[in-house]
Structure 1
């Protein structure tokens, strides 16, 4: 009977520790905006797309990118041009990163130097966007927007549909993800620290409007589960001695 109680206690402890971990949501778009860059010295807050006036933010030193923090999580974001492979993403290929805040359906993208209306991460300029977190996280609920600052499922937009991208996680090629007319949100982008998205579709572009990061709870449950199993062994040994 005691053995069953030890087993139940161990399972219960592991179950509590395996509950949903702390999560942080970064909202880069105007609708629900909750983060702007921490490295303010690298922020040009007078950049505006299409020659207009807005509070969009873009990098001064492109290789430095933008750093964001929220609920204890930190991420550095970079934009690149002339990228076809993982190896192409380096300081020599750094491009202007823009946090497109207005209008509401916007987000983070690679702003082409030679086209003031192209603030999406686009294949035509071989552009890519990269997220490097302070630790490995599960990245979920990644929302994308298309050209013209609209949802991927919206019609129109001078910069084309959302298209597709090649995903690399911690340097590993995870394959192609297609953002179609019915896909605005990728429920789970994977687990890792370094996420690189390379645009693949000609005439298409995307921004990243928001994403959520969370710890992986399973390893935290392991010590309690092992301590419960150790208790089982101790109880069994005492019973045999008696």
Structure 2
């Protein structure tokens, strides 16, 4: 008997053509379900492996299908963040979402970064759990298994400010507990050897993400949510395409 294709959903809000082009690039690898408002997709692709699901609330329809098991994984695509992530949190019964972003520098270096949300990774236990889950994703994506812990300065900066001192002390502790390396503030060196980078907090992680992708010519390829029971890859509407986000979702199903 033929093996059933995995079913991956992706949302279409703005820029439907960009999403459809991404889906066509991976056609045949899995069945893709595109959730959108009625009439937003002008070009109807071959429905043997690509399905258009029209709904007045596409974000809710996609989350409902994910939770019910009608689809195996979901990618936000170009659906609006607020309503989509709110629906996901409610469906999964969590008050916040923890994400690990797959990023790529302008020179083509890929790495994972977390925390990337302002309400994520504020405690040592939270960071240790992100490291554990991040290492699993790095392995699936063929990235180096070394983890780099960032802090607010170089070791030579100790004594300049109490917050910098606290940041470096915490980074040293996390590195020791997790078998990682304290890379100080030197993110430019950390990405050369580490597949997973741990930011000092969600604010700085979010700033790194936005600076790299929106100002620095890099790319964000999706951020799996790791504190829920289902596979959901968050994405930015500014992404050039969603091919890697779809492939990331598929790899997490293996």
Q: Same fold (TM over 0.5)?
A: no
TM-score scaled to structure 1, two decimals? 0.30
Bigger helix share: 2
Higher strand share: 1
The structure with the larger Rg is: 1
TM-score (norm 2): 0.29
